[in-house]
Amino acid sequence: IIVDHGSRRKESNLLLNEFVLMFKSKTGYSIVEPAHMELAEPTIGDAFGSCVEQGANQVIISPFFLFPGRHWHQDIPSLAEAAAKEHPGIPYLVTAPLGLHQLLVDVVKDRIDYCLSHVDGEADECSVCAGTGRCQLKVKEPEAK
């Protein structure tokens, strides 16, 4: 289970589905489900049940969060425990969040480089920014005194 925070914005939640498909394709794992900690469905409980229905004999819950905070320390473990109670005998594990990882440095640099290439007219907007007007340089004019 790849779990994110969840959003009221449907478009944001759909990005997790896309990521899960990418993850599944790259890793070859046959059972991978998205879940949202709150504000959207599927929930951790829904995803846990779906994994078990597909034949999982253990469930790994990987928080799609940068750093360990309250959600990782308390909320996700509590939701995972509640889900596991519905499926006795199925062990589960909550992994560490993404954290400080060298590959994240590469991802952030790639995002910056791509946005700058868009600003320079060398690339289209990325799929995340498309139509939002976010991928542009903004200049704050000095206030008149």
Total tally of structural domains belonging to the chain = 2
78, 7: one domain:
yes
90, 105: one domain:
no
Q: What is the pLDDT along the chain (145 residues), one digit of tens a residue?
A: 999 999 999 988 999 999 999 999 999 999 999 999 999 999 999 999 999 999 999 999 999 999 999 999 999 999 999 999 999 999 999 999 999 999 999 999 998 898 888 888 887 877 777 677 777 766 677 887 7
Which residue in 102, 101, 79 sits closest to 92, CA to CA? 79
34, 86: one domain:
yes
85, 130: one domain:
no
Q: Which domain holds residue 41?
A: 2-94
10, 55: one domain:
yes
10, 58: one domain:
yes
Residues recorded for the chain: 145
86, 107: one domain:
no
Is 0.75 surpassed by the pTM of this model? yes
Distance (Å, whole) CA 68 – CA 25:
27
Question: Cβ contacts of residue 19 below 8 Å, gap of 6+?
Answer: 2, 34, 64
